[in-house]
Amino acid sequence: MNANMQAILFDMDGLMIDTESVSGQSWLLAAAEVGVTIPEQVILGMVGLSVHKCRDHVAAHFQDHKLAETLSQRCRHHYHQLMSTGELRLKPGIIEVLDWVQDQAIPHAVATSTQRLMCDLKLQRSGLGPYFQHTVAGDEVTNTKPAPDVYLAAAALLDIAPAACVVLEDSLIGMRAALAAGMRVILVPDMLQPAAHETAGALAVCQDLHQALLLLQTL
């Protein structure tokens, strides 16, 4: 293994597990309950954000913090129900990537904005839990993405220098977090296809995890 890449850090939502669509569905259910409409652009603007940052994003749209708090609580209720009982779909190629990482004995960890309880639930229900000894959740650091905290904490857990870590991300917010941590990023966009100028800092933008794996094998 090339010394350039001594560890791989994985985002979770939208990168390994198809959860962003469930999140969008939860916001729509909450909005219908409350009797308001949340535009698709507002929902897409929350991809990669923590719970609290999503609430602030919605508050900015409606110019109403109380409404945003109510929507956020109802959204979390629906999201938890869907995550606890619904089907959790894996993103195509993630098993191949994780099998290769294990075969190569490359240190790896999850670094997510999601809070610990939900992080563990998703990893357990998706079947991905056994692949990861090390995970950092959003409520275990001071600042969530786009701040670098979760990625720096994950690198510290693995005892690997940030510059020797390669990050797999699906969102621009996550990409910015990894770049702020001094890491290289492979972006695999999920719901939003970013413009070329927005991804200038990425090592590469891949159409799926199969393409990302081919790139990882060259590092």
**Mind listing the pLDDT tens digit for each residue in 104-113?**
999 999 999 9
Check: CB of residue 9 under 8 Å from CB of residue 98: no
Question: Which amino acid is located at 120 in the chain?
Answer: D
19-28, 89-98, 143-152: segment of lowest average pLDDT? 19-28
> What pLDDT score was predicted for residue 39?
94
Cis amide bond preceding 39, omega within 30: no
DSSP 110: E
Q: Is 10 left (phi over 0), alpha (psi -120 to 50) or beta?
A: beta
pTM assigned to the model: 0.87
The average pLDDT across 25-53 equals 91
> What pLDDT score was predicted for residue 4?
84
φ, ψ for residue 184, nearest 5 deg: -90, 145
Check: CB of residue 164 under 8 Å from CB of residue 5: yes
**Which one is predicted more confidently, 2 or 152?**
152
> What pLDDT score was predicted for residue 20?
81
Count of other CB atoms within 10 angstroms of residue 39: 10
Asked if pLDDT for residue 77 goes beyond 60, the answer is: yes
Most confident option among 36-50, 77-91, 173-187:
173-187
